[in-house]
Amino acid sequence: MEEDNVVSSFFVENAVEADKHETIPEDFLDLIDELNIKLSEFQIPSPVECVYNPTLYARQPFEMYIRNFCNSKKKIMYFGMNPGPWGMSQTGVPFGEVNLVRDWLGINGPVGKPEKELKARPVNGFGCTRSEISGKRFWNLFKSICGVPQNFFQTSFVYNYLPQQWLKSNGCNVTPGDFKASQMQPLYDMCDPTFIKVLKLYDVQIIVAIGKFCETRAKKAVEKHLPNSSVQIYYLPHPSPRTVNNNDWDKKAIEHLNKYNLIQYYNNSIKTEEKT
């Protein structure tokens, strides 16, 4: 009888763990769907003429990213602003440069079209031949540190504050940071609570804000919604080539990760050598 209890306990514990790996992605996807409904009511000011939302039209690879890599609690969130034209807008993965998403993360799949598509910024999914430098820099950095994706995702994941890319009629990218805070406050009132819910869902303890906009939003949202939280907020320079004097981003990023003592989370636990 005692032995049966031990066996039963083993299967119950494993069933609970398996269930967590199912419910966390579903809960996250529900949060994104709820946010998208709210965002449909937000009046984006001019000169924005077009909105791309890859969590909708690139749903299959987006869900693969969530189900494969964001299916457990995470200590660290890398916090980005929104999709880039040749990255997440093509693949559905944050900072999702096509080649690295397909060849390193092992994610691929059909990608549809946004409701309105600009000729200057076509969505070709994994057929896109342009490389997004920000995504290439970001994921190549962690590829060089981790070897295999699992060494990154055991403790970490990437989340974008806004699932939309905003475009002018000529295809030029526009971000929430390009507007006055007063104009964006209704947007912040939609996105901040979702951001906080994602932090809670994954039990995030460390936020690495990629760029000043994300650092500001993280601090304001945590201060307002989690005033007694022990969550730490660190700053990482954005990998965009548009940032002044950013040619040595990899070196700067490593310096920041070392300063925050984050490298320790990626150097162990899973062997990077391929089995022969």
In a domain, 270, yes or no: no
Per-residue pLDDT of the chain (276 residues; tens, 9 = 90+): 444 555 555 444 554 455 556 799 999 999 999 999 999 999 999 999 999 999 999 999 999 999 999 999 999 999 999 999 999 999 999 999 999 999 999 999 999 999 999 999 999 999 999 999 999 999 999 999 999 999 999 999 999 999 999 999 999 999 999 999 999 999 999 999 999 999 999 999 999 999 999 999 999 999 999 999 999 999 999 999 888 778 899 999 999 999 999 999 997 555 444 433
Residue 245 pLDDT: 77
Nearest to 213 by CA among 177, 187, 189, 245: 177
In a domain, 57, yes or no: yes
Report the alpha-carbon distance of residue 52 to residue 275 in Å, rounded.
Answer: 41
The answer to whether the CB of 125 falls within 8 A of the CB of 111 is: yes
The three-class DSSP label of residue 276 is coil
In a domain, 275, yes or no: no
Q: What is the DSSP string of 173-185?
A: EE-GGGS-HHHHH
The pair of structure tokens assigned to 252 is 């700067």
In a domain, 272, yes or no: no
How far from chain centre, in Å, is Cα 70? 10
pTM: 0.90
In a domain, 30, yes or no: yes
Residue 4 pLDDT: 52
Tell me the CB-side half-sphere exposure of residue 205, using CA atoms within 13 A.
6
Show the domain range for 152.
2-265
In a domain, 261, yes or no: yes
Could you give the number of structural domains in the chain?
1
CATH of the domain at 19: 3.40.470.10
